[in-house]
Homo-oligomer: A and B are copies of this chain.
Amino acid sequence: MDERVRSYIREHLDDGMAELKLLCASRSVSAQGEGRETAALVAERLSMRGMETRIASTPGNPVVFGEAPGRSDATLLIYNHYDVQPAEPLELWDSPPFEATVRGGQVFARGADDNKGHIASRLLMLDAYRAVHGEYPCRIKWVIEGEEEIGSLHLADFVHANADLIAADGCVWETGGVDPYDHPYLYLGLRGILYVELRCKTGTLDAHSGIGGSIFPNAAWRLVWALYAIKGPDERIRISGFYDAAWPATETDLAMLETLPEEESYLKEQYGLDRFLLNATGLELKRRALFEPTATVCGLSSGYQGPGSKTVLPAEAVAKMDFRLVPDMHPDAVFDALRRHLDANGFDDIELAHLGGEPPARVDPNDPVAQLMTRTAEEVYGREAHVWPFLGGSGPMHPFVHELGIPVVANGVGWPGGRPHAPNENIRIKDFQLGTEHMARFVEQFPSVAGDR
Protein backbone atom coordinates (compact mmCIF):
# COMPACT_ATOMS: atom_id res chain seq x y z
CA MET A 1 0.00 0.00 0.00
CA ASP A 2 1.06 3.52 -0.74
CA GLU A 3 2.88 4.55 2.42
CA ARG A 4 2.39 8.25 1.81
CA VAL A 5 -1.38 7.79 1.68
CA ARG A 6 -1.25 5.73 4.87
CA SER A 7 0.87 8.38 6.60
CA TYR A 8 -1.46 11.14 5.54
CA ILE A 9 -4.39 9.29 7.10
CA ARG A 10 -2.52 8.68 10.36
CA GLU A 11 -1.35 12.30 10.56
CA HIS A 12 -4.78 13.74 9.84
CA LEU A 13 -6.99 11.75 12.19
CA ASP A 14 -7.79 14.95 14.07
CA ASP A 15 -9.13 16.42 10.86
CA GLY A 16 -11.32 13.35 10.49
CA MET A 17 -12.63 13.80 14.03
CA ALA A 18 -13.36 17.47 13.35
CA GLU A 19 -15.29 16.47 10.24
CA LEU A 20 -17.23 13.91 12.28
CA LYS A 21 -18.12 16.47 14.98
CA LEU A 22 -19.38 18.83 12.32
CA LEU A 23 -21.57 16.13 10.77
CA CYS A 24 -22.95 14.92 14.12
CA ALA A 25 -23.87 18.48 15.20
CA SER A 26 -26.16 18.74 12.18
CA ARG A 27 -29.35 17.05 13.45
CA SER A 28 -30.81 14.66 10.91
CA VAL A 29 -33.33 12.40 12.65
CA SER A 30 -35.32 11.44 9.59
CA ALA A 31 -38.10 9.86 11.70
CA GLN A 32 -38.68 13.32 13.14
CA GLY A 33 -38.62 15.24 9.87
CA GLU A 34 -35.01 16.45 10.03
CA GLY A 35 -32.31 16.20 7.36
CA ARG A 36 -32.45 18.93 4.69
CA GLU A 37 -29.80 21.10 6.31
CA THR A 38 -27.54 18.09 6.72
CA ALA A 39 -27.95 17.27 3.02
CA ALA A 40 -26.65 20.72 2.13
CA LEU A 41 -23.76 20.31 4.57
CA VAL A 42 -22.83 16.91 3.15
CA ALA A 43 -22.94 18.22 -0.44
CA GLU A 44 -20.63 21.05 0.58
CA ARG A 45 -18.17 18.58 2.13
CA LEU A 46 -18.13 16.53 -1.10
CA SER A 47 -17.61 19.65 -3.24
CA MET A 48 -14.62 20.52 -1.09
CA ARG A 49 -13.10 17.21 -2.34
CA GLY A 50 -13.44 18.24 -5.95
CA MET A 51 -16.62 16.28 -6.56
CA GLU A 52 -19.29 17.52 -8.89
CA THR A 53 -22.27 17.50 -6.59
CA ARG A 54 -26.03 17.54 -6.87
CA ILE A 55 -28.79 17.51 -4.28
CA ALA A 56 -31.62 15.48 -5.78
CA SER A 57 -34.93 16.33 -4.19
CA THR A 58 -37.40 13.59 -3.33
CA PRO A 59 -40.80 13.74 -1.61
CA GLY A 60 -38.76 13.21 1.58
CA ASN A 61 -35.15 14.00 2.37
CA PRO A 62 -32.97 14.69 -0.68
CA VAL A 63 -30.32 12.35 -2.05
CA VAL A 64 -26.83 13.82 -2.30
CA PHE A 65 -24.83 12.61 -5.30
CA GLY A 66 -21.17 13.38 -5.98
CA GLU A 67 -18.84 12.30 -8.78
CA ALA A 68 -15.17 12.82 -9.51
CA PRO A 69 -12.88 11.38 -12.21
CA GLY A 70 -9.81 9.31 -11.38
CA ARG A 71 -6.62 8.03 -12.95
CA SER A 72 -8.52 4.95 -14.17
CA ASP A 73 -11.95 4.68 -15.78
CA ALA A 74 -12.89 1.96 -13.33
CA THR A 75 -15.84 3.33 -11.41
CA LEU A 76 -16.39 2.80 -7.72
CA LEU A 77 -19.71 3.70 -6.16
CA ILE A 78 -19.92 4.51 -2.44
CA TYR A 79 -23.18 4.40 -0.54
CA ASN A 80 -23.84 6.16 2.79
CA HIS A 81 -26.69 7.92 4.59
CA TYR A 82 -26.63 11.22 6.43
CA ASP A 83 -29.75 10.59 8.51
CA VAL A 84 -29.70 9.08 12.01
CA GLN A 85 -32.01 7.26 14.41
CA PRO A 86 -33.88 9.24 17.13
CA ALA A 87 -31.72 9.93 20.17
CA GLU A 88 -34.40 9.00 22.70
CA PRO A 89 -34.26 7.97 25.53
CA LEU A 90 -32.17 11.09 26.10
CA GLU A 91 -31.64 10.50 29.82
CA LEU A 92 -29.50 7.43 29.12
CA TRP A 93 -26.80 9.39 27.27
CA ASP A 94 -23.65 10.25 29.20
CA SER A 95 -22.97 13.23 26.91
CA PRO A 96 -25.28 15.23 24.62
CA PRO A 97 -26.18 13.06 21.62
CA PHE A 98 -25.65 15.81 19.06
CA GLU A 99 -22.32 17.03 20.44
CA ALA A 100 -19.67 14.48 19.49
CA THR A 101 -17.54 13.97 22.59
CA VAL A 102 -14.19 12.19 22.83
CA ARG A 103 -13.63 10.04 25.92
CA GLY A 104 -10.98 7.35 26.28
CA GLY A 105 -10.17 6.95 22.61
CA GLN A 106 -13.83 6.84 21.61
CA VAL A 107 -16.16 9.38 20.02
CA PHE A 108 -19.74 9.43 21.36
CA ALA A 109 -22.66 10.90 19.43
CA ARG A 110 -25.80 9.90 17.59
CA GLY A 111 -24.41 9.00 14.18
CA ALA A 112 -20.81 8.60 15.36
CA ASP A 113 -21.05 5.06 14.01
CA ASP A 114 -24.28 4.90 12.03
CA ASN A 115 -23.45 6.44 9.64
CA LYS A 116 -21.58 9.75 9.87
CA GLY A 117 -18.38 8.14 11.16
CA HIS A 118 -18.17 6.21 7.90
CA ILE A 119 -18.79 9.32 5.82
CA ALA A 120 -16.02 11.14 7.69
CA SER A 121 -13.66 8.19 7.13
CA ARG A 122 -14.27 8.13 3.39
CA LEU A 123 -13.81 11.89 3.15
CA LEU A 124 -10.44 11.51 4.88
CA MET A 125 -9.50 8.76 2.41
CA LEU A 126 -10.29 11.13 -0.49
CA ASP A 127 -8.27 13.89 1.18
CA ALA A 128 -5.29 11.55 1.40
CA TYR A 129 -5.31 10.77 -2.33
CA ARG A 130 -5.82 14.41 -3.29
CA ALA A 131 -2.99 15.54 -1.02
CA VAL A 132 -0.52 12.83 -2.02
CA HIS A 133 -1.34 12.24 -5.72
CA GLY A 134 -3.58 15.11 -6.72
CA GLU A 135 -6.04 12.58 -8.15
CA TYR A 136 -8.08 9.49 -7.19
CA PRO A 137 -7.05 5.99 -8.30
CA CYS A 138 -10.42 5.50 -10.02
CA ARG A 139 -13.62 7.33 -10.79
CA ILE A 140 -15.57 7.87 -7.58
CA LYS A 141 -19.35 8.15 -7.39
CA TRP A 142 -21.00 8.69 -4.06
CA VAL A 143 -24.67 8.37 -3.15
CA ILE A 144 -25.58 9.71 0.32
CA GLU A 145 -29.24 9.47 1.12
CA GLY A 146 -31.24 10.89 4.05
CA GLU A 147 -33.91 8.30 4.77
CA GLU A 148 -32.02 5.10 5.52
CA GLU A 149 -33.26 4.99 9.11
CA ILE A 150 -36.90 5.18 8.02
CA GLY A 151 -36.61 2.57 5.31
CA SER A 152 -35.00 4.51 2.42
CA LEU A 153 -38.45 5.53 1.26
CA HIS A 154 -37.30 7.24 -1.94
CA LEU A 155 -33.85 5.84 -2.72
CA ALA A 156 -35.08 3.01 -4.96
CA ASP A 157 -36.90 5.58 -7.11
CA PHE A 158 -33.70 7.60 -7.32
CA VAL A 159 -31.75 4.51 -8.37
CA HIS A 160 -34.31 3.58 -11.03
CA ALA A 161 -34.39 7.10 -12.44
CA ASN A 162 -30.60 7.46 -12.47
CA ALA A 163 -29.35 4.03 -13.48
CA ASP A 164 -26.83 5.45 -15.96
CA LEU A 165 -25.62 8.12 -13.58
CA ILE A 166 -24.77 5.66 -10.84
CA ALA A 167 -23.59 2.75 -13.00
CA ALA A 168 -20.38 1.35 -11.50
CA ASP A 169 -18.07 -1.66 -11.39
CA GLY A 170 -18.56 -2.13 -7.68
CA CYS A 171 -20.00 -0.47 -4.65
CA VAL A 172 -18.81 -0.04 -1.05
CA TRP A 173 -21.70 -0.11 1.37
CA GLU A 174 -22.33 2.20 4.28
CA THR A 175 -20.81 0.37 7.22
CA GLY A 176 -18.37 -2.24 8.41
CA GLY A 177 -15.46 -2.54 10.82
CA VAL A 178 -14.24 -5.07 13.34
CA ASP A 179 -16.02 -7.83 15.22
CA PRO A 180 -15.71 -8.74 18.93
CA TYR A 181 -12.35 -10.42 18.23
CA ASP A 182 -10.92 -7.36 16.47
CA HIS A 183 -11.05 -9.11 13.13
CA PRO A 184 -12.38 -7.14 10.16
CA TYR A 185 -15.74 -8.39 8.99
CA LEU A 186 -17.41 -8.16 5.61
CA TYR A 187 -20.90 -8.95 4.47
CA LEU A 188 -22.32 -9.81 1.11
CA GLY A 189 -25.91 -8.81 1.56
CA LEU A 190 -28.59 -7.53 3.91
CA ARG A 191 -31.90 -8.76 5.16
CA GLY A 192 -34.98 -6.95 3.96
CA ILE A 193 -37.36 -5.12 6.24
CA LEU A 194 -40.99 -4.12 6.61
CA TYR A 195 -41.84 -1.50 9.23
CA VAL A 196 -45.46 -1.09 10.28
CA GLU A 197 -47.55 0.64 12.90
CA LEU A 198 -50.62 -1.07 14.35
CA ARG A 199 -53.19 1.31 15.82
CA CYS A 200 -56.29 0.22 17.70
CA LYS A 201 -59.09 2.67 18.51
CA THR A 202 -62.02 1.43 20.53
CA GLY A 203 -63.68 4.75 21.32
CA THR A 204 -63.24 8.49 21.22
CA LEU A 205 -62.46 9.05 24.88
CA ASP A 206 -60.43 7.30 27.56
CA ALA A 207 -62.81 6.03 30.24
CA HIS A 208 -62.78 5.59 34.01
CA SER A 209 -61.85 1.95 34.44
CA GLY A 210 -64.49 1.51 37.14
CA ILE A 211 -67.22 2.60 34.75
CA GLY A 212 -66.01 0.85 31.62
CA GLY A 213 -63.89 -2.05 32.85
CA SER A 214 -66.59 -4.70 32.57
CA ILE A 215 -68.38 -3.44 29.47
CA PHE A 216 -66.24 -1.18 27.24
CA PRO A 217 -63.79 -2.47 24.62
CA ASN A 218 -60.23 -1.70 25.74
CA ALA A 219 -57.80 -0.66 22.99
CA ALA A 220 -54.78 -1.91 24.95
CA TRP A 221 -56.28 -5.37 25.38
CA ARG A 222 -57.27 -5.59 21.71
CA LEU A 223 -53.76 -4.62 20.65
CA VAL A 224 -52.29 -7.29 22.96
CA TRP A 225 -54.56 -9.91 21.45
CA ALA A 226 -53.83 -8.81 17.88
CA LEU A 227 -50.09 -9.04 18.59
CA TYR A 228 -50.55 -12.46 20.14
CA ALA A 229 -52.20 -13.55 16.89
CA ILE A 230 -48.95 -12.59 15.09
CA LYS A 231 -46.45 -14.39 17.30
CA GLY A 232 -46.63 -16.47 20.48
CA PRO A 233 -44.01 -17.69 22.92
CA ASP A 234 -42.92 -20.43 20.48
CA GLU A 235 -41.43 -17.60 18.33
CA ARG A 236 -43.16 -18.98 15.23
CA ILE A 237 -44.72 -16.18 13.17
CA ARG A 238 -48.34 -17.13 12.57
CA ILE A 239 -49.06 -14.97 9.53
CA SER A 240 -50.36 -17.30 6.86
CA GLY A 241 -47.78 -17.67 4.04
CA PHE A 242 -45.16 -15.62 5.91
CA TYR A 243 -42.36 -18.15 5.39
CA ASP A 244 -43.31 -19.20 1.85
CA ALA A 245 -40.66 -17.15 0.01
CA ALA A 246 -37.96 -17.56 2.68
CA TRP A 247 -34.94 -19.57 1.51
CA PRO A 248 -33.53 -21.84 4.17
CA ALA A 249 -29.77 -21.81 4.75
CA THR A 250 -28.00 -24.07 2.24
CA GLU A 251 -25.06 -26.33 3.05
CA THR A 252 -22.83 -23.62 1.56
CA ASP A 253 -24.41 -21.00 3.79
CA LEU A 254 -23.94 -23.16 6.85
CA ALA A 255 -20.30 -23.79 5.90
CA MET A 256 -19.79 -20.01 5.62
CA LEU A 257 -21.42 -19.54 9.05
CA GLU A 258 -19.13 -22.24 10.49
CA THR A 259 -16.09 -20.09 9.65
CA LEU A 260 -17.48 -17.15 11.60
CA PRO A 261 -16.44 -16.66 15.22
CA GLU A 262 -18.72 -17.58 18.08
CA GLU A 263 -20.20 -14.38 19.56
CA GLU A 264 -22.38 -15.84 22.29
CA SER A 265 -20.56 -14.73 25.41
CA TYR A 266 -19.87 -11.36 23.84
CA LEU A 267 -23.54 -10.74 23.00
CA LYS A 268 -24.72 -11.95 26.40
CA GLU A 269 -22.42 -9.53 28.17
CA GLN A 270 -23.06 -6.63 25.81
CA TYR A 271 -26.85 -6.82 26.09
CA GLY A 272 -27.19 -8.28 29.57
CA LEU A 273 -28.84 -11.48 28.35
CA ASP A 274 -28.93 -14.74 30.25
CA ARG A 275 -29.91 -16.86 27.26
CA PHE A 276 -30.81 -16.63 23.59
CA LEU A 277 -34.28 -17.20 22.20
CA LEU A 278 -35.32 -20.84 22.31
CA ASN A 279 -31.97 -21.50 24.04
CA ALA A 280 -30.25 -21.67 20.66
CA THR A 281 -26.45 -22.02 20.65
CA GLY A 282 -23.61 -22.78 18.23
CA LEU A 283 -24.35 -23.12 14.54
CA GLU A 284 -28.09 -23.12 15.18
CA LEU A 285 -27.76 -19.71 16.87
CA LYS A 286 -25.75 -18.39 13.91
CA ARG A 287 -28.33 -19.80 11.52
CA ARG A 288 -31.25 -18.29 13.43
CA ALA A 289 -29.55 -14.90 13.71
CA LEU A 290 -29.55 -14.49 9.92
CA PHE A 291 -31.84 -17.00 8.28
CA GLU A 292 -34.86 -16.73 10.57
CA PRO A 293 -37.10 -13.88 9.48
CA THR A 294 -38.41 -11.85 12.40
CA ALA A 295 -41.44 -10.08 13.82
CA THR A 296 -40.13 -7.55 16.37
CA VAL A 297 -42.28 -5.33 18.55
CA CYS A 298 -40.23 -2.10 18.52
CA GLY A 299 -42.63 -0.04 20.63
CA LEU A 300 -45.85 -0.19 22.65
CA SER A 301 -47.88 2.81 23.75
CA SER A 302 -51.28 3.10 25.39
CA GLY A 303 -53.05 4.80 28.27
CA TYR A 304 -51.22 6.06 31.33
CA GLN A 305 -47.45 5.63 31.40
CA GLY A 306 -46.44 8.06 34.16
CA PRO A 307 -45.42 7.29 37.71
CA GLY A 308 -47.80 5.52 40.07
CA SER A 309 -51.33 4.61 39.11
CA LYS A 310 -54.10 6.00 36.95
CA THR A 311 -57.34 4.06 36.68
CA VAL A 312 -57.99 4.70 33.02
CA LEU A 313 -59.37 2.49 30.28
CA PRO A 314 -57.54 3.48 27.07
CA ALA A 315 -59.45 4.26 23.87
CA GLU A 316 -56.30 3.98 21.75
CA ALA A 317 -53.20 1.79 21.62
CA VAL A 318 -50.26 1.70 19.22
CA ALA A 319 -47.56 -0.85 18.43
CA LYS A 320 -44.58 -0.31 16.17
CA MET A 321 -43.17 -3.45 14.56
CA ASP A 322 -40.52 -4.47 12.12
CA PHE A 323 -40.14 -7.67 10.14
CA ARG A 324 -36.64 -8.68 8.97
CA LEU A 325 -36.86 -10.58 5.71
CA VAL A 326 -34.54 -13.17 4.18
CA PRO A 327 -34.16 -13.89 0.44
CA ASP A 328 -36.58 -13.99 -1.42
CA MET A 329 -39.23 -12.46 0.85
CA HIS A 330 -40.74 -9.14 -0.20
CA PRO A 331 -41.99 -6.44 2.21
CA ASP A 332 -45.12 -5.65 0.23
CA ALA A 333 -46.16 -9.29 0.19
CA VAL A 334 -45.62 -9.50 3.95
CA PHE A 335 -47.64 -6.32 4.48
CA ASP A 336 -50.56 -7.73 2.50
CA ALA A 337 -50.32 -11.06 4.32
CA LEU A 338 -50.32 -9.27 7.69
CA ARG A 339 -53.43 -7.30 6.78
CA ARG A 340 -55.20 -10.48 5.70
CA HIS A 341 -54.03 -12.26 8.86
CA LEU A 342 -55.39 -9.56 11.14
CA ASP A 343 -58.70 -9.54 9.27
CA ALA A 344 -58.97 -13.33 9.39
CA ASN A 345 -58.36 -13.32 13.14
CA GLY A 346 -61.08 -10.79 13.93
CA PHE A 347 -58.84 -7.72 14.02
CA ASP A 348 -60.09 -5.84 10.99
CA ASP A 349 -60.50 -2.82 13.30
CA ILE A 350 -56.72 -2.59 13.76
CA GLU A 351 -55.35 0.14 11.49
CA LEU A 352 -52.14 -0.91 9.78
CA ALA A 353 -49.73 1.73 8.43
CA HIS A 354 -46.86 0.82 6.07
CA LEU A 355 -43.90 2.89 7.28
CA GLY A 356 -41.32 1.56 4.84
CA GLY A 357 -39.88 -1.60 3.36
CA GLU A 358 -36.87 -2.96 1.52
CA PRO A 359 -36.34 -6.37 -0.09
CA PRO A 360 -33.28 -8.42 0.92
CA ALA A 361 -30.09 -8.51 -1.19
CA ARG A 362 -27.20 -11.00 -1.66
CA VAL A 363 -23.89 -10.85 -3.55
CA ASP A 364 -21.92 -13.82 -4.91
CA PRO A 365 -19.02 -14.64 -2.53
CA ASN A 366 -16.84 -15.41 -5.58
CA ASP A 367 -17.20 -11.95 -7.14
CA PRO A 368 -13.70 -10.40 -7.67
CA VAL A 369 -14.76 -7.17 -5.99
CA ALA A 370 -15.82 -9.14 -2.90
CA GLN A 371 -12.55 -11.05 -2.94
CA LEU A 372 -10.53 -7.83 -3.24
CA MET A 373 -12.29 -6.34 -0.24
CA THR A 374 -11.50 -9.46 1.76
CA ARG A 375 -7.85 -9.57 0.67
CA THR A 376 -7.19 -5.87 1.37
CA ALA A 377 -8.85 -6.19 4.78
CA GLU A 378 -6.47 -9.00 5.72
CA GLU A 379 -3.51 -6.96 4.45
CA VAL A 380 -4.42 -3.83 6.41
CA TYR A 381 -5.68 -5.43 9.64
CA GLY A 382 -3.14 -8.26 9.56
CA ARG A 383 -5.86 -10.69 10.53
CA GLU A 384 -8.26 -13.03 8.81
CA ALA A 385 -11.40 -11.31 7.58
CA HIS A 386 -14.72 -12.80 8.66
CA VAL A 387 -17.11 -12.86 5.73
CA TRP A 388 -20.84 -13.01 6.41
CA PRO A 389 -23.30 -14.29 3.81
CA PHE A 390 -25.46 -11.32 4.77
CA LEU A 391 -26.12 -9.22 7.85
CA GLY A 392 -29.11 -9.27 10.14
CA GLY A 393 -29.76 -5.60 9.48
CA SER A 394 -31.32 -4.01 6.43
CA GLY A 395 -30.71 -1.33 3.89
CA PRO A 396 -31.59 -0.32 0.35
CA MET A 397 -29.10 -2.67 -1.29
CA HIS A 398 -31.62 -4.54 -3.40
CA PRO A 399 -31.88 -2.21 -6.43
CA PHE A 400 -28.09 -1.80 -6.66
CA VAL A 401 -27.42 -5.53 -6.63
CA HIS A 402 -30.49 -7.06 -8.20
CA GLU A 403 -31.53 -4.34 -10.65
CA LEU A 404 -28.29 -2.61 -11.67
CA GLY A 405 -26.09 -5.67 -11.16
CA ILE A 406 -23.44 -3.88 -9.09
CA PRO A 407 -21.58 -6.09 -6.59
CA VAL A 408 -21.79 -4.47 -3.18
CA VAL A 409 -19.13 -5.01 -0.52
CA ALA A 410 -18.44 -3.62 2.91
CA ASN A 411 -15.80 -1.66 4.76
CA GLY A 412 -16.03 0.55 7.80
CA VAL A 413 -15.00 2.05 11.09
CA GLY A 414 -17.46 0.40 13.51
CA TRP A 415 -16.94 -2.02 16.38
CA PRO A 416 -19.31 -4.26 18.35
CA GLY A 417 -19.57 -1.83 21.27
CA GLY A 418 -20.73 0.96 19.00
CA ARG A 419 -24.38 0.83 20.18
CA PRO A 420 -25.94 1.90 16.90
CA HIS A 421 -29.58 2.99 17.41
CA ALA A 422 -29.03 3.11 21.21
CA PRO A 423 -27.80 5.67 23.76
CA ASN A 424 -24.04 6.35 23.87
CA GLU A 425 -23.48 5.39 20.24
CA ASN A 426 -19.75 5.56 19.53
CA ILE A 427 -16.72 4.56 17.48
CA ARG A 428 -13.14 3.93 18.54
CA ILE A 429 -10.58 6.25 16.95
CA LYS A 430 -8.25 3.32 16.25
CA ASP A 431 -11.02 1.66 14.20
CA PHE A 432 -11.52 4.92 12.36
CA GLN A 433 -7.87 4.86 11.39
CA LEU A 434 -7.76 1.22 10.26
CA GLY A 435 -11.09 1.41 8.44
CA THR A 436 -9.89 4.47 6.54
CA GLU A 437 -6.59 2.77 5.64
CA HIS A 438 -8.50 -0.28 4.46
CA MET A 439 -10.73 1.83 2.25
CA ALA A 440 -7.66 3.57 0.78
CA ARG A 441 -6.02 0.22 0.04
CA PHE A 442 -9.20 -1.12 -1.59
CA VAL A 443 -9.60 1.99 -3.76
CA GLU A 444 -5.94 1.80 -4.80
CA GLN A 445 -6.37 -1.73 -6.14
CA PHE A 446 -9.96 -1.43 -7.35
CA PRO A 447 -9.01 -0.78 -11.02
CA SER A 448 -7.28 -4.16 -11.12
CA VAL A 449 -10.50 -6.09 -10.47
CA ALA A 450 -13.02 -3.78 -12.14
CA GLY A 451 -12.02 -5.18 -15.52
CA ASP A 452 -12.44 -8.76 -14.37
CA ARG A 453 -16.18 -8.49 -14.28
The answer to whether A231 touches B220, judged by C-beta atoms less than 8 angstroms apart, is: no
**Is A391 an interface position by the 8 A CB rule?**
yes
Q: CA separation between A85 and B308, bound complex, in Å? A: 10
Q: With both chains docked as a complex, state the minimum distance between the C-beta of A332 and any C-beta of chain B, in angstroms.
A: 16
Task: Rank and list the top 10 A-B pairs by shortest CB-CB distance, nearest first.
Answer: A204-B272, A210-B393, A31-B308, A213-B294, A299-B303, A220-B297, A301-B305, A299-B304, A300-B302, A214-B292
> What residues of chain B lie closer than 8 Å to A324, measured between beta carbons?
209-210, 213-214
**Is A150 an interface position by the 8 A CB rule?**
yes
CB within 8 Å of B: which A168-221 residues? 191, 193, 195, 197, 202-218, 220-221
The answer to whether B304 touches A302, judged by C-beta atoms less than 8 angstroms apart, is: no
Q: CA separation between A142 and B293, bound complex, in Å? A: 63
Interface-central residue, A191, A213, A289, A309, by most chain B CB under 10 Å: A309
The answer to whether A308 touches B218, judged by C-beta atoms less than 8 angstroms apart, is: no
The answer to whether B312 touches A304, judged by C-beta atoms less than 8 angstroms apart, is: no
The answer to whether A304 touches B308, judged by C-beta atoms less than 8 angstroms apart, is: no
The answer to whether A214 touches B392, judged by C-beta atoms less than 8 angstroms apart, is: yes
Tell me whether chain A's interface is mostly helix, strand or loop, or mixed: mixed
> What residues of chain B lie closer than 8 Å to A214, measured between beta carbons?
277, 288-290, 292-294, 324, 392
Q: CA separation between A210 and B310, bound complex, in Å? A: 35
Q: CA separation between A273 and B420, bound complex, in Å? A: 43
Given contacts A217-B277, A346-B233, A392-B210, contact A32 B299 (CB under 8 A): no
CB within 8 Å of B: which A340-368 residues? 346, 355-356
> What residues of chain B lie closer than 8 Å to A217, measured between beta carbons?
273, 275-277
| Of A4-12, A66-74, A313-321, the one with at least 4 CB within 8 A of chain B | A313-321
> What residues of chain B lie closer than 8 Å to A419, measured between beta carbons?
205
This chain's copy number in the assembly: 2
A-B contact pairs, 6 of them (CB 8 A): A32-B307, A210-B392, A223-B300, A233-B346, A271-B315, A300-B305
Given contacts A214-B324, A393-B210, A421-B208, contact A300 B298 (CB under 8 A): no
**Is A30 an interface position by the 8 A CB rule?**
yes
> What residues of chain B lie closer than 8 Å to A308, measured between beta carbons?
30-32, 150, 355
CB within 8 Å of B: which A227-285 residues? 227-228, 231-233, 267, 270-273, 275-277, 280, 285
**Is A337 an interface position by the 8 A CB rule?**
no
Closest to A391 in B: B210
The answer to whether A276 touches B209, judged by C-beta atoms less than 8 angstroms apart, is: no
Given contacts A210-B324, A224-B224, A324-B213, contact A298 B271 (CB under 8 A): no
Interface-central residue, A203, A311, A319, A320, by most chain B CB under 10 Å: A311
The answer to whether A273 touches B32, judged by C-beta atoms less than 8 angstroms apart, is: no
Q: With both chains docked as a complex, state the minimum distance between the C-beta of A291 and any C-beta of chain B, in angstroms.
A: 8
The residue that A277 contacts in the complex, of B206, B216, B292, B297, with Cβ under 8 A, is: B216
> What residues of chain B lie closer than 8 Å to A88, measured between beta carbons?
304, 306
The answer to whether A305 touches B299, judged by C-beta atoms less than 8 angstroms apart, is: yes
> What residues of chain B lie closer than 8 Å to A227, measured between beta carbons?
221, 224
The answer to whether A300 touches B300, judged by C-beta atoms less than 8 angstroms apart, is: yes
**Is A322 an interface position by the 8 A CB rule?**
yes
The answer to whether A195 touches B285, judged by C-beta atoms less than 8 angstroms apart, is: no
Interface-central residue, A209, A304, A394, by most chain B CB under 10 Å: A209
**Is A86 an interface position by the 8 A CB rule?**
yes
> What residues of chain B lie closer than 8 Å to A216, measured between beta carbons?
267, 271, 273, 276-277
Q: With both chains docked as a complex, state the minimum distance between the C-beta of A13 and any C-beta of chain B, in angstroms.
A: 27
Q: With both chains docked as a complex, state the minimum distance between the C-beta of A54 and any C-beta of chain B, in angstroms.
A: 26
Interface-central residue, A150, A294, A346, by most chain B CB under 10 Å: A294
The residue that A86 contacts in the complex, of B203, B211, B304, with Cβ under 8 A, is: B304
The answer to whether B312 touches A300, judged by C-beta atoms less than 8 angstroms apart, is: no
**Is A151 an interface position by the 8 A CB rule?**
yes
The answer to whether B288 touches A309, judged by C-beta atoms less than 8 angstroms apart, is: no
The answer to whether B215 touches A280, judged by C-beta atoms less than 8 angstroms apart, is: yes
> What residues of chain B lie closer than 8 Å to A276, measured between beta carbons?
215-217
The answer to whether B309 touches A151, judged by C-beta atoms less than 8 angstroms apart, is: yes
